Amino acid sequence: MGKTVNDYLADVCQDPSVPGVYAFRGQGDSSWSLRSGAARRLLGHYGFDDESRVPSFSRIYLEYHQNVLIDPARTRGFGLDNGRTLADLEILAKLQHFGAATGLLDFTYSPLIALWFACQNKECDGKVFCIDTVDPLAFGRLGYQMVMEEDVSKLLSHDRDDSRGPDGDDFRPWIWEPIATGEAETRVLVQNSLFVIGRPSIAEGAARGVVIGKEDKEQLRRELETTYAIREESLFKDVYGFSSVNQASDPVPTFEHPESYFLSGNRKYQEGYYQEAIENYDQVIRLQPELAEAYNNRGNAKGMLGRYEEAIADFDRALHHSPANANTYINRGNAKGSLGRHDDAISDYDQAIHLDANDIEAYYNRGNSKGALGRFDDALADYDVDISMQLPIMIRPFASSGTMPRLITVVALLRLTYVILQGHDATLRPHWL
């Protein structure tokens, strides 16, 4: 079993006996450093992997913010908020809110929210970083007056030979908690956000990182969503966030309609998430209690979890609403056979064959139960029917290839193997609606 949310919280969070005020950042790829989006954009554009390899990077970094982001944003009227002129850094915060690559790094005071972001991208490990925001040796703090009065180039500067830094500035990263106003207010409050100005990166020693294994990401995301109510729609409650999770490439969330829950349950079943499938079928039955297919599929999911008595109860309900469904008789027979009740299972398979004499699985599974009871001749007869039904499909590609005699010999050998092996540890074939 993989790690749970609590397991990771124990790794991520500091010992409560150690004083500090901690903030967290989750990144979907553990190989990424704590580098701002602006730095990543520029390095990618110029074909470098580290700013230290570009002698003029400090100047380019500052010019990028002024000439690509701030000045054009003001020209387009984005520098006002309810009639108030925004400071340069406030403009960058606004642009960051809408997805621009700026020199700001988003952090949160919630380790759960950081863990959610670290669980993006299932193809690689993620990482949660933890910083002590009140460590005076690692970070400086930006107050409102400095944000409003300082030239933004002095706040973003990272070149230690640059004489433009504020008096006493030793070029530590800045911690900034902006006043939540305007379009960003909802997201800042919901995500318990703050910014770190990395200038442009945060030194490895200033942050502690915990790797989130890619094999745990899907389970952690589900736990965060179901237990802690941390999901995309709750983290991005503004119009931009709402629209961003409803693009053509995004999965459709389950909505309050039986067909939506039913299709979601089927998908979870196919993916092997049987408990989640059951929860979706529960909602179908709540909304449409007479739907036989919901009971049938929920019974199959319970059977996959070894909850055979519950599965039989669901198949009973399905047959109450749809008494002529051969598939459900097969599934109930499978559950009874799994409990060792092979005589009862055979009765269900008999009924399924009575309703649909061409159902291959009914013969195959009935043969399994007969074999388990030591009735090998009867089992063989059922396997013969099963083979005779499948044979035309199996041999069609070989019909004109000259390999028919060899194929018939192989089928005969398989038939003998059935006699020896079937009925002891045979795999039942369920019917899923």
| Mean model confidence pLDDT for the chain | 82
Per-range mean pLDDT, top range of 46-55, 105-114, 243-252: 105-114
> pLDDT digit string (tens) for 186-198?
666 677 788 998 7
> pLDDT digit string (tens) for 247-281?
666 666 656 788 888 988 998 999 999 999 999 99
Give the pLDDT score at 167.
Answer: 45
Across 190-194, 234-238, 414-418, least confident range: 414-418
Residue ranges per structural domain of the chain: 5-244, 258-421
Q: 107 or 186: whose pLDDT is higher?
A: 107
If DSSP states are collapsed to H, E and C, what string results for the chain? CCCCHHHHHHHHCCCCCCCCCEEEEEECCCCCCCECHHHHHHHHHHCCCCHHHCCCHHHHHHHHHHHHHHHHHHHCCCCEECCEECCHHHHHHHHHHCCCCCCEEEEECCHHHHHHHHCCCCCCCEEEEEEECCCCCCCEECCHHHHHHCCHHHHHCCCCCCCCCCCCCCCCCEEECCCCCHHHHHHHHHCCEEEEECCCECCHHHCEEEEECHHHHHHHHHHHHHHCCCCHHHHCCCHHHHHHCCCCCCCCCCCCCHHHHHHHHHHHHHHCCHHHHHHHHHHHHHHCCCCHHHHHHHHHHHHHCCCHHHHHHHHHHHHHHCCCCHHHHHHHHHHHHHCCCHHHHHHHHHHHHHHCCCCHHHHHHHHHHHHHCCCHHHHHHHHHHHHHHHHHHHHHHHCCCCCHHHHHHHHHHHHHHHHHHCCCCCCCCCCCC
Across 44-58, 111-125, 329-343, 359-373, least confident range: 44-58
Q: 294 or 388: whose pLDDT is higher?
A: 294
Q: 356 or 47: whose pLDDT is higher?
A: 356
| Long-range interactions of 358-364: CB distance < 8 A, separation 24+ | 358/389, 359/326, 359/327, 359/330, 360/386, 360/389, 360/390, 361/330, 361/429, 361/430, 361/431, 362/326, 362/329, 362/330, 363/389, 364/429
Q: Work out the average pLDDT over 108-135.
A: 92
- pLDDT-derived band at 56, boundaries 50, 70, 90: confident
Give the pLDDT score at 395.
Answer: 52
Across 96-110, 189-203, 399-413, least confident range: 399-413
Topology, domain 258-421: 1.25.40
pLDDT higher than threshold 90 for residue 150:
no
> pLDDT digit string (tens) for 61-91?
888 999 999 999 999 998 988 888 999 998 9
Give the pLDDT score at 241.
Answer: 63
pLDDT higher than threshold 50 for residue 424:
no
- pLDDT-derived band at 165, boundaries 50, 70, 90: very low
pLDDT higher than threshold 50 for residue 290:
yes
* Percent above pLDDT 90 for the chain: 38
Across 10-19, 105-114, 234-243, least confident range: 234-243
Give the pLDDT score at 324.
Answer: 94
Q: What pTM value is reported for the model?
A: 0.58
Across 17-21, 142-146, 259-263, 421-425, least confident range: 421-425
pLDDT higher than threshold 90 for residue 211:
yes
Give the pLDDT score at 152.
Answer: 83
* Percent above pLDDT 70 for the chain: 78
> pLDDT digit string (tens) for 302-319?
999 999 999 999 999 999
Give the pLDDT score at 425.
Answer: 46
- Burial class of residue 185 in the structure, from the number of CB atoms within 10 Å of its CB (0-12 exposed, 13-18 middle, 19+ buried): middle
Q: Which amino acid is at 426?
A: A
Q: Work out the average pLDDT over 364-373.
A: 90
Q: Work out the average pLDDT over 19-23.
A: 85
- pLDDT-derived band at 53, boundaries 50, 70, 90: confident
